[in-house]
Amino acid sequence: MNTHVDCISCIVNKVDSLANKYLDTKKKKYDFMKKALMEIVNANYNMSSPTVSSKILRILKEEVNIDDIYEKEKRYFNDLALKMEKQLEEKLNLSEDRFLDALKYAISGNIIDFGALDDIKDDMLDNIIQTTLKQNISGSVYSKFKRNLENASELVYLSDNTGEIVFDKLFIKEIRKKYPDLNITLITRGKPVYNDATEEDAYYVGLDKYVKIINNGTDIAGTDLLEINEESKRYIDNADLIISKGQGNFETLCGCGKNIYYLFLCKCDMFVEKLKCEKFTSVFINEEECSKLFGE
């Protein structure tokens, strides 16, 4: 999806924010902004916003000599979500539809996104969890999703952010219980980008107890099928069903034609307009719907 065309102003704002945070002189900021803007100018029309943003982030990391610029935030939200895990499990025990609520928890965790947001407070996470649980999702998509799971043998779960992956773990545990014969492979980012989860993060929160974990080999905040490594591409191609978390994965995959269910919170104005929903509304759609909504 060529979202970078619609997202230029947001990309520039994010670049400016990062420059102010990490660069201590006007000259350094000027040089960085000049390089960043050239990346936007030279981007292919069909390039997604996450791919363009990742190119710019590489420039910044080289400028400041820091490979993982959100390392502190990543560990903080992984630890915070792990502390919440037992409490959320207890709430699931009281749920009328445990599987559905676990899916909604997975969506709510998508608020922990430093690619889309500049700051996230603990109470913001609590509020989003409560709000998301109250929101309705499409009954027809949910029913089709469960039928697909029933008939699938290979599931690929595309993770998104740190902290969020603990909420994914809750959902994956429910998938394991309901569909015990399903093989599940979780794919993370291959290198640090924003606060996205890497393979190391997935092991840190204990996901290896429930899934096979691999990484996609890239530092792109999404799943660009032209850029990911051969191993992850093979798993994606062979999957009967794919669960895709977050806007970055949505932007890079929407329109690819695979059997994908997208789960995320609508965090930007462009998607608010396209999906005709309010900001921070939960989104659960499949690839067929996506292609109709975002046909270029």
Domain ranges, ordered by start, for the chain: 3-64, 71-293
3-state SS of 27-44?
Answer: HHHHHHHHHHHHHHHHCC
Share of the chain above pLDDT 90, in %: 68
Q: What pLDDT digit, counting tens, does each position of 203-217 carry?
A: 999 999 999 999 999
Whether 122 has a pLDDT exceeding 70, the answer reads: no
* pTM: predicted TM-score of the whole model, two decimal places: 0.93
CATH of domain 71-293: 3.40.50.10880
Q: What pLDDT digit, counting tens, does each position of 137-150 carry?
A: 899 999 999 999 99
Written as six digits, the tokens of 90 are: 């207890």
Q: What pLDDT digit, counting tens, does each position of 57-101 carry?
A: 999 999 999 899 889 989 999 999 999 999 999 999 999 999 999
- Pairing, β 260-265 against β 282-286: antiparallel
Provide the β-strand partners of residue 198. Answer: 189
The whole-angstrom separation of Cα 67 and Cα 57 is 10
